Amino acid sequence: MNPELRSWKEPHRLVLIAIGIGIILLAAYTMRWDWLPRYSGRLIEGVGTTIWLLFITSIMGFVAAIGLGLAQAAGPFWLAGPARAFCTVIRGTPLLLQLWLLYYGLGSLFAQYPEIRESWAWTYLRSAWPYGVLALTMSFAGYEGEVMRGAFAGVPRGELEAGRAYGMSRFTMFRRIWLPRAIHRALPTLAGETVLQLKATPLVATITVVDVYAIISRVRQDTYLTYEPLLLLALIYMILTGILILAFRWVESRVPVKG
């Protein structure tokens, strides 16, 4: 029998599954769900916004993290210093504070300049979503940049020396040896950081970005219900988290992390 399938048949896992099914049935038959059809369209849009935020900010943040990690691991001091300072500030301050500083601080500063207000960029700069995307991207880059620093530093020097001995240029060696090996080492942590990024997306609702959390908050205000909308929100995030975990496990199974 498949070891993974066997693990799901362990007694404690079966008990947890039974408890979960019981909770779902209890909630389905004892709580009010008559509001769900009326808000289903908005909820789907909100989930789409959440997934879009997660995808965009994780991709851009990881690309930035590669540069931050490389600068700290092998860059000159004038690159390593700012990269280290950026990661320290991002990791040392709350994401909510960073989000508000960008939206209420930088956004208010832009509004003071007529040149900006009269330009094409003002169409985007007066909206909330660019600041939400920037804050989430910076947060992901700050945390994952430190992970990539360790991943780059952990690649055995012998492999790089072998690439140099084969006559590879620095860029070719980076593209074919150093970067792939560093990503292999960082994959497990990258999965965890992506899940944390998903759980951080509800903060954008504080600056009027309408994600799934904002829709649930509107449902609570309109219906005066508390538990039902929050239970649905928890279920949505659990499903998205499960999909992410399965996706990263699939990737890891095909790209083994070597020592």
- pLDDT greater than 70 at residue 234: yes
What mean pLDDT do residues 44-62 have? 96
- pLDDT greater than 70 at residue 5: no
From the list 137, 112, 120, 155, the residue with the least C-alpha distance to 52 is: 137
Give the pLDDT band (50/70/90) at residue 19.
Answer: confident
| Interval 166-223: pLDDT, tens | 888 888 888 888 888 888 889 889 999 999 999 999 999 999 899 999 999 999 999 9
**Which tokens hold the place of 168?**
């590879």
What mean pLDDT do residues 129-146 have? 96
Q: How far is CA 255 from CA 28, 181, 185, 232, 258, in A?
A: 41, 10, 10, 35, 9
CA distance 94 to 141: 14
Looking at this protein, which amino acid is placed at residue 249? R
| Contact status, residue 195 vs residue 240, Cβ threshold 8 Å | no
CA distance 67 to 61: 10
- pLDDT greater than 90 at residue 59: yes
For tokens 């991207």, the residue is: 137
| Contact status, residue 53 vs residue 132, Cβ threshold 8 Å | yes
Looking at residue 9, its pLDDT comes to: 65
